[in-house]
Amino acid sequence: MKKKDPNKPKKPVYKRVWFWILMFFVVCGIIGTVSAPPANQTDKTEENTNQQQQEEQSEESAKDSVDVAKEKDTRIYGLMKSAEARFNGVSKNMESGNLLDIYDDCKNASSMLSEVYGQIGDFKTEANKEYVQYAQFYAATLSTACDNIVKYVDKQEMKYLSEAKEDIQNANSFLQQAMLQRQAYLLDSGLTTEDIEAQDAQFE
């Protein structure tokens, strides 16, 4: 990270690194919330899942039991919520304008999110592999966004903020896919929509 010259005149606010980082988060918005799809989407997913069950009876052996699905989902969903909270903490820290704090926080967040990526994989089964895959993509892409913010603070090149913006957009897409795959996995494992709501209530 570059050292500041104490004798160098102060830059106008609009030319300071922290200002552009803050504006970046204002424009991008905070990362999408980890939550279940709307009710109509849930119904659609349930309908599609029921149809798939009829067409793919040969895959019964690959399904997880209700108890296993609940346990796996609690772990995976909980890790996704942790990733969401950590990255939202990064965005709030941008308001301080302290580059050293931003730099350190993003480095620490990137490391934590990389760990979450690995931990999610520990709960992979044949039945939930798509859910796990998108949940891991979500955590990994948030980690990459933090890495690009660190690079921006270090090198002060706008391309890294652009790459971080793209990372956040991709993370939101992965999040949406993960939530849809979660619904499909839980319904396919025998949970009802009421059971899934009870699962969600653990994290409220």
Domain segments of the chain as ranges: 67-201
Cα–Cα dist 191/65, whole Å? 9
* pLDDT (0 to 100) of residue 14: 39
* pLDDT (0 to 100) of residue 99: 86
* pLDDT (0 to 100) of residue 62: 84
Q: What is this structure's pTM?
A: 0.76
Point out the residues of the chain with pLDDT beneath 70. 1-61, 97
Q: What is the pLDDT of residues 28-83, one digit of tens each?
A: 555 566 665 654 555 555 555 555 555 555 456 689 999 999 999 999 999 999 99
* pLDDT (0 to 100) of residue 31: 56
* pLDDT (0 to 100) of residue 93: 81
* pLDDT (0 to 100) of residue 98: 81
